[in-house]
Amino acid sequence: MQKPMNFLNKKIIKSLVAIIIISTLPACDKSPSEHLKSFTEDNYPVANMPDEPLETPLEINIEPKRLAMTSSWSAGVKDDGTLWTWGTDGLLRETKTGQDPTPRQVEGVNDAVAVSGAGHMLLLKEDGTVWGWGSNYHGKIDPSDDDTFIEELREIQGIENVVDIDASEFASIFLTQDGSVYILGNKNDYPSECNEFRICKITMFNYMNIVKIQGSISTIFALNDKGEMYTTGFYPKDLGRFEDNSGYQNFKHKKDLFGLEKVNVPRKVADFSYGFGNFALLEDGSLWSWGDGSGGWTAQGTLQNSLKPKKVDGLSKVVKMNSYSANTENGDLYIWGMYTFEGKLSSNRSNISKPIKVMSNITISQYAEGNENAFISSQGDAWFWGSNYLAQFGTGEIQTERYVSKEKTLIPRKSLFNIHTNK
């Protein structure tokens, strides 16, 4: 059976998508602002909130990750520690066709705590061990195994006492109880100390009291217990520290590591997200972004890159966020980024550079790991929007067309999966 090709570097994907966007804008014969106006003039209002802080500052978000996606399947952890999967391939259970749109329990797992997904999936258990399955390119599950796709749940050797996990395209990243950061992946170039299982401790994070991590083999974001966010890596555009494009241009001629540095934002960071655009949610509910803007991914009303953190206009009192969406205190859900609707014509592709509202009266408990378009509500229900072509939504239905209408693409749909044990 052919396995999903989920091993592409996120940066390669970014570049390809950017080329597609640039090539399709002239065919639309509209400027980005005209595109946005025509797109939102009916049912999707652009965020225009007063610039007001939350009355109660946000606490640092270190909740265990209960919902995750790869490009072809999803996984969820329930209150009782059981693991559930749905989608295409990577289900850890028998199916008639290799695809199942209905969430079902994986036998033998009753002590799950968290999941994280990319080309592969990571599972954190109560005893602090980490298990993985899916793509094994670059040895991010088992570097001693040449198999590029691991179909069974396999314990990752050489790491223990883990409290946070992050699966990326080229690596697995772990945070242990003492605040240490570790990475597994054959291309690791960070200053590190590695054991016999190729688990490498990234030494620049020593004694920093890190409480949350996210990133890839090329970039790592970390948050400490004081609400200070730090970045390090090889891609200047992701790091949020440069005044102009000189750092990015210089990268074309060198592969130097840019060392650990604090992200300059005016208040404590409560949460952050690493993606095409990078975001920091501050304790006052303001949202700040930087990075790749080519698909509208920084939500700053432009398709240009932003190298330093800048406040996202029109959004305030944000309580939950990721790199593609935000939930405000009053229950509104805003999204941004690139979306493709029915057909494959350029006129059906939209780059949403300012946040638009797609849902009201919803309270998000947490966002999914590994995908921009999924969350768990305060009632414990999983919700998804975008393309359900590989049955990742878990609605019990299979989407036969790759692209669907704007309404079906943008409006979140409730999954059959709920994190509560009795549902």
- Domain assignment present for 238: yes
pLDDT tens digits, the chain, 423 residues: what are they? 333 333 334 433 433 343 333 333 333 445 555 556 656 666 899 999 999 999 999 999 999 999 999 989 999 999 999 999 999 999 999 998 999 999 999 999 999 999 999 999 999 999 999 999 999 999 999 999 999 999 999 999 999 999 999 999 899 999 999 999 999 998 788 999 999 999 999 999 999 999 999 999 999 999 999 999 999 998 888 999 987 665 555 554 446 899 999 999 999 999 999 999 999 999 999 999 999 999 999 999 999 999 999 999 999 999 999 999 999 999 999 999 999 888 655 457 789 999 999 999 999 999 998 777 999 999 999 999 998 999 999 999 988 888 888 888 999 999 999 999 988
CA distance 336 to 46: 10
User: How much is the pLDDT for 33?
Assistant: 56
Residue 383 has what pLDDT? 97
Please give the tally of structural domains in the chain: 1
* 183: nearest Cα among 168, 193, 173, 192: 173
Q: What is the pLDDT of residue 255?
A: 65
Place of tokens 């946040």: 355
Residue 404 lies in a domain: yes
Question: What's the pLDDT at 253?
Answer: 42
d(CA 16, CA 22): 10
Using CA atoms, how far residue 285 sits from 8, 208, 211, 374, in Å, is 34, 25, 20, 21
Handedness of CA 367, 402, 132, 278 (dihedral sign): negative
Instruction: List, in sequence order, every beta strand (DSSP E) within 312-378.
Output: 318-322, 325-328, 333-340, 349-359, 364-367, 374-377
Query: Residue 310 burial by CB count (10 A; 0-12/13-18/19+): exposed, middle or buried?
Result: middle
Domain annotation covers residue 124? yes
pLDDT at 423: 83
Please indicate, yes or no, if residue 346 is contained in any of the structural domains: yes
In a domain, 5, yes or no: no
Residue 341's pLDDT is 85
Residue 409 three-state SS: helix
């991010």: which residue's tokens? Answer: 140
Domain assignment of residue 3, yes or no:
no
CATH number reported for the structural domain that contains residue 375 in this entry = 2.130.10.30
Distance CA 61, CA 330 (A): 19
- Domain region containing 353: 10-415
